[in-house]
Amino acid sequence: MQKFMSEKDIEIAKADIAKKETEYEKQKTTTYSQIEKAKIELASNKTKIEKAEKELNSSKKEFEEEIIEAERKLVDAKEDIAEIETPTWYILDRNSNAGYVSFIQDTNSIANIGRVFPVVFFVVALLISLTSMTRMVEEQRMQIGTFKALGYSKIQIMFKYVIYAGIACILGGILGMSVGFALLPKIIWMMYGMMYQLPDIKVSFNLEFGGIGLILISICIVGATIYTVLKELKHEPAVLMRPKAPKSGNRVILEKIPFIWKKLNFNQKVTARNIFRYKKRFCMTVIGILGCTALILTGFGIKDSVQQIVPNHFEKIFVYDMQITLKDSIEQEQKDEFVKYLEQKEEIEKIAKVYMTAGTAKINEHSEDIHIVVPENMENLKGLINIYDVATKEKAKINEYEIGLSDKVAELLNVKIGDSIIIKNSDDIEVEVKISSIIENYVQHYVFMAKETYESLYNEEYNYNVILTKDIELAEDSKDDLTKEIMRKAEVASVTNMSEFEENIQETLELLNYVVLVLIISAGLLAFVVLYNLSNVNISERIRELATIKVLGFYDKEVYNYITKETIILTIIGIIFGLGFGYFLSIYILGTCEINMLRFPRIVHMMSYVYAVLITIAFTIIVNIVTYFALKKIDMIESLKSIE
């Protein structure tokens, strides 16, 4: 049994050995296969390593070269930094902001106008008030006589009229200040809001200005009332309670000129005598109409001058269409190539190469910002910038090594031809130079000099940075397309289209027109008040006379002509003197409201005189129409009743 089992075990063992041998062979085959595969991968990786080593060596060489180049650039940069000069710091306040400066200059113009016009309005309004109060006291002679007869003292009687005049002054002053401090500032601020981005205005009463005006007019009116009452109180009650004796008639000036006087008919002679008989009314009417006509003409004169700035500047002097500013970084060859490109453009008629820079002109402690203009050739500038002598209006001559200075800055610096001033350029280099001519100019300040003059003064080579162009007649769309095309050029830093600049200036000046409109309307209304008040005074003073002539058979139309002829004649006299005074007032106002950067032409067009006359006449006609109905209401019986 044991023996059998051993053989079986041997068989099993053999079978296991065979199996193991089979597995061994299989494993051996797999192992050799893996070894071969590993050898292939090893060879492939070795190739990759060799390739990577080559790339590493190549990259290492490039890296070393780049390091050397970077170190060289770093050294060069350090040398460049070492050569940089110490920078100059500029601390700019709000006055360096163009928008702020423009706003301040606009408000200064309004302020300058406000220093003159209120004076004229005040004088005319004062005359009206004085006439009204004086007339009221004279009309109440009988009451004053009655009070005096009843035992009232002079102070008590006078106090009645002083209180009336004082209350009228206070109420009128409060109402006027309410309009002046609340309404008008909002209107003007609204006009400014069309041009500037402004916050809402906070209006408040200026007690200083309002108080001064109220005190002045109260002193004048109350003082006139006191004077008139005291003059009446000198008489006895019996005299005061009778009608005031009419003024004795005197020979008028025209009567001393026989060849004129004899040609006048009866009505004309009566009118002439009445005009010279009532001297106070004559003076008040003439002065009132004079002031109102002058104010209206001044308003139109300012409007004429403001509207003339743009045509004078952009159609007469600066007539180029585009100002092309070149980049500072480009070389001279690039500039010359760009100039050739412009010369080949069919849309461009003429070009001029110019050096422009900002600067300062000063003398003593006074200085003004300027633009320095240096053309490559003075002759090439003709037709683009026309330089005229401000005195002769002929082409200005700028001598060698001298400059041409625009007229407004010459006025601000108080210099003339032959004087020397200091010109500082954008590099803060100051030179002293003689003025050769004063140039006509209307917007901003300019200094013109020749190329040789600039090189000699500043010891540097001329290098133009601006090109001025004159286009053929182009539509707005074509101009825009040309501007965009030029802007895309690499050499160009900016392009200024002069038509847009002109529009901006025009919009700025439009603001002043609104203010002028307010002044014209106010002056016209004042003319109406003057005429209406004086017409009422005239009728009340002469009501018995008018009632008498109506009783004598004069028709309403004849009575109306009898009265209005005097008003018309006085109005004509006031208009004639007002036009003359208005011209000089316009010149004065233009000088005071002119801002630093603008020159206002001293001009008043003929149509402005016509408008001033027509507006005054229109208000005269309105007053005469009102007067006609007032004359029709005169009750002849009541007016002619005895006052005794």
DSSP string over 93-134: -GGG-HHHHHHHHHHHHHHHHHHHHHHHHHHHHHHHHHHHHH
Nearest CA-CA partner of 578 in 614, 613, 529 = 613
Both ends of the chain: CA-CA distance in Å? 189
DSSP string, 352-381: EEEEEEEEEEEETTEEEEEEEEEES-GGGG
92-121 in b/e burial notation, b at 16+ Cβ within 10 A? Answer: eeeeeeeeebbeeebeebeebbeebbeebb
Q: Looking at residue 196, what is its pLDDT?
A: 66
Residue 331: CB atoms within 10 A of its CB come to 9
Q: Looking at residue 4, what is its pLDDT?
A: 47
Q: Which two tokens stand for residue 467?
A: 């090109």
Question: CA 190 to CA 108: how far, in whole Å?
Answer: 17
* Mean pLDDT in order along the chain per 10 residues (644 residues): 61 79 78 80 80 79 80 78 67 64 68 71 73 77 85 86 86 81 72 67 77 82 84 82 66 75 76 76 82 86 84 87 86 87 86 90 85 88 88 86 90 90 87 92 89 89 89 79 86 84 72 73 78 76 76 78 82 91 86 76 89 88 82 68 53
Q: Looking at residue 433, what is its pLDDT?
A: 92
Q: Is 447 exposed, middle or buried (0-12, 13-18, 19+ CB in 10 A)?
A: buried
Tell me if residue 471 falls in helix, strand or coil: strand
Q: Look-up: residue for tokens 């004065």?
A: 588
CA atoms within 13 A on the CB side of 378: 16
Q: Looking at residue 643, what is its pLDDT?
A: 53
Q: Which two tokens stand for residue 199?
A: 């916050």
Q: Looking at residue 559, what is its pLDDT?
A: 79
Let me know: does 306 contact 513? Beta carbons within 8 Å. Answer: yes
Provide the residue type at 505 as one letter.
I
Let me know: does 153 contact 327? Beta carbons within 8 Å. Answer: no
Question: CA 460 to CA 357: how far, in whole Å?
Answer: 14
Query: 466-471 and 348-363 as β-strands: parallel, antiparallel, unpaired?
Result: antiparallel
Q: Looking at residue 434, what is its pLDDT?
A: 92
